[in-house]
Amino acid sequence: MYALVRIFLIKIVFVYSQSDHFPDCASGPLSKFPICDQTIPSRERAADLISRMTIDEKISQMITTASAIPRLGLPQYEWWSEALHGLAFSPGVSFNGSISAATSFPMPINFGASFNMRLVHRMANIISTEARAFNNEGQAGLTFFTPTVNIFRDPRWGRGQETPGEDPFLVAEYAYALVQGLQGGEDARYLKIAADCKAYNAYDLENWNGTDRFHFNAIISDQDLVETYLPPFEKCIRDARVASIMCSYNSINGIPNCANQFELEILARESFHLDGFVVSDCGAISTIMYAHNYTSTVEETVAVALHAGTDLNCGYFYYNYTKQALEKQTIVEADIDRALERTFNILIRLGWFDPPEQQYYRQLTKDNVDTHEARQLSLESAQEGIVLLKNMNQSLPLDRNRLLNKRIALIGPTANATELMQGSYFGKAPFLIDPVTAIKALTTGKSIDVQFVYGCKINGSDESGFSAAIELARTADVVIFFGGLDQTIESETIDRVSIAMPDIQLALLQQLERVVQSPIRVVIMSGSGLDLTYVRDSPRFGSLIWMGYAGQSGGLAIANVIFGEYNPAGRLPITIYPASYVDAVSMFDMQMRPSKNNPGRTYKFYTGEAVYEFGTGLSYTTFHYSWSNDTAQRSYSISSLIENKNDAHRVLIRSFRVNVTNIGTMPGDDVILAFVKVSNTVIDGPILPIKQLFGFDRIHLGINETKEVFFPLNVEHLLIVEQDGTKWLYPGTYNVLIGQQLVYAIELYGPFIQWQSKRQFSSS
């Protein structure tokens, strides 16, 4: 969405009284109409209401800031509310009212690092509870433009922090858990809130090398669309049953996404069974004509967007030009009615028109916001997303009893970060605990001297703070450096040019390492990867932690990890590439597989040597893995697997059972990742993934405790996507890798089969 518009809207307050932001079905003008009759199917209720509107009134409801219709008793409704990781500043959300703050959870990239979808669901449930409480006070809508379920394709993308990572399977599982937590709840009759999976599709560029997101035409093969870009949206729509999706600014193969009838109608609605509406990204209708030059008149633009299935306009293009389109006969009134029936049907499913006394969600109040449970979960989430990348000679955790009468130096531009920890799309948090404050709190009463200096800013060339930092480091027993990025470097509208650590931070680290008494502990706060090769390889750096953007309790979370109050178990949800990666491939290149000008993208296809691989993460304890069922069948006939050929995700080949034992000296979580790798096939096919994730779990184990985990391997995990987008099951050897310790070979034999027919994505 337009970042400058969004920043401006932060200052706007939308305050309604409890009585005027809900329709009155008890005694108002609507009360005698079918819209208020709960015995009638929701679509019929919506159709009847729309039939009572004039053309001008209908058009006023086609944009996200929908006007009131006083003669019908219909209040104004703002469709655009945000809740990426907590309620966020947006036109529909206000923090100026009886509720002044909302829980600020870590960014989605942190939840990806947790590999804990139960945690994601719990977080989403709290967000939707707080959203309902805000709505009841007139401080939020019921429709929220979240989650972002594009994959983190390129490390330069400024909004990668809004996603849970680079892997389609991980992103799909996150989308399912989040949408279920946002939309489901205590009352099955109603949607709790309406979620929105965005940005559909292949949106992962802001502004790079002279081309911005409004003008970008993504050239994508059918193979990559089916294999990489579509799965999270399919999961979100088909399985999670999301209430809406958002079409993005960019084009795919020459067709703007908000004008792409195949993507919106054939795929989203017919194939994936979207039972909801499509909303444009803000201003995306206008870009069809003015940026992509796909249409030549405003009337034609309205027509292609409506006919493609874009029901709701974030912006004012529909408001300004739909009547002209009717007059020029590029559309008919039935096109408008169809779009409005989809949007109003969701409002009905949300209970907007039904009596408050019969609805659980209408009883939620400010007492349901910022609860003890929410505060605990924000801390738990921040801790679970922390990734320990290096721990030389057990540099961490620090033992406070051994630091009595000693000095800890906290140095670096993110050590006292507050709002920075919220990342993007944030709201007003009830509190923000920075690392310096938390570390001082955990050392209170221990006669430990904790000192802090900035040393440098996050970026730039000002070295005036170096001398104070070097002097403090020289006198300290322990030095912890806090570095990373912020929203001036990576954010909406801003892609990175370099993925190296900012020069000013590296220069300070190189000077600090010359004077310290013990190896430096490094903490990186960012929403994406940095080339940390220098820190990884130098013996003067004892430990390295990536903590993402960890939300309101981020400082306490990292302090707990540093002092061993919490045993880290996060895993990287992205590949951390060397800085040279940006010179090896263009951001415009959407191809996932390696080629002459592309070393391959993500852990599935990258042919270079990563600084840190996807799934990397250490613990303070040690885990051992063993098979529970290693004597079971290993060979399978393809013909025996095709009984339910149209439902590959339900055709089970076998379930792997693994025992995990904590053989170390500290309780802790373990994240177990399950990959499958094709060793060989009978016939030559496309370049195959190096490996691909098909399962993961996170468990807690006490010392010497053993737990069994299960990973079902379905046919869909073994299908090979050809260049034309068809899916095939080939005979051959498939190796299952679990926890980097266990390898299990499965043999498929018999004739190969085409499992899924071709889907044509080209503009022809």
User: In terms of C-beta density within 10 A (0-12 exposed, 13-18 middle, 19 or more buried), how is residue 294 classed?
Assistant: buried
Helices (H) and strands (E) in the chain, counts: 21, 27
* SS3 category, 720: strand
Give the type of residue at 159: R
- Give how far Cα 426 sits from Cα of 117, 421, 548, 593, 742, Å: 21, 10, 15, 35, 41
Candidates 167, 204, 222, 281; catalytic one: 281
Strand-pairing partners, residue 670, are 699
| The residue to which tokens 């996603």 are assigned | 163
Rounded to whole angstroms, the Cα distance separating 248 from 202 reads: 8
C-alpha torsion sign, points 507, 511, 514, 520: negative
Rounded to whole angstroms, the Cα distance separating 708 from 598 reads: 40
Cβ neighbours of residue 230 closer than 8 Å, sequence gap 6 or more? 201, 267
Which of 732, 725, 729 lies closest to 749 in space, CA to CA? Answer: 732
Which of 570, 508, 568, 567 lies closest to 535 in space, CA to CA? Answer: 508
User: In terms of C-beta density within 10 A (0-12 exposed, 13-18 middle, 19 or more buried), how is residue 601 classed?
Assistant: buried
Q: Could you tell me whether strands 65-66 and 77-78 are parallel, antiparallel, or unpaired per DSSP bridges?
A: antiparallel
- Give how far Cα 590 sits from Cα of 211, 213, 492, 593, Å: 14, 14, 19, 9
Which of 441, 702, 396, 401 lies closest to 553 in space, CA to CA? Answer: 441
C-alpha torsion sign, points 134, 135, 138, 144: positive
Q: Which two tokens stand for residue 71?
A: 């003669």
Contact 197, 174 (CB under 8 A): no
Contact 492, 535 (CB under 8 A): no
Active site residue 204: no
Catalytic residues: 281
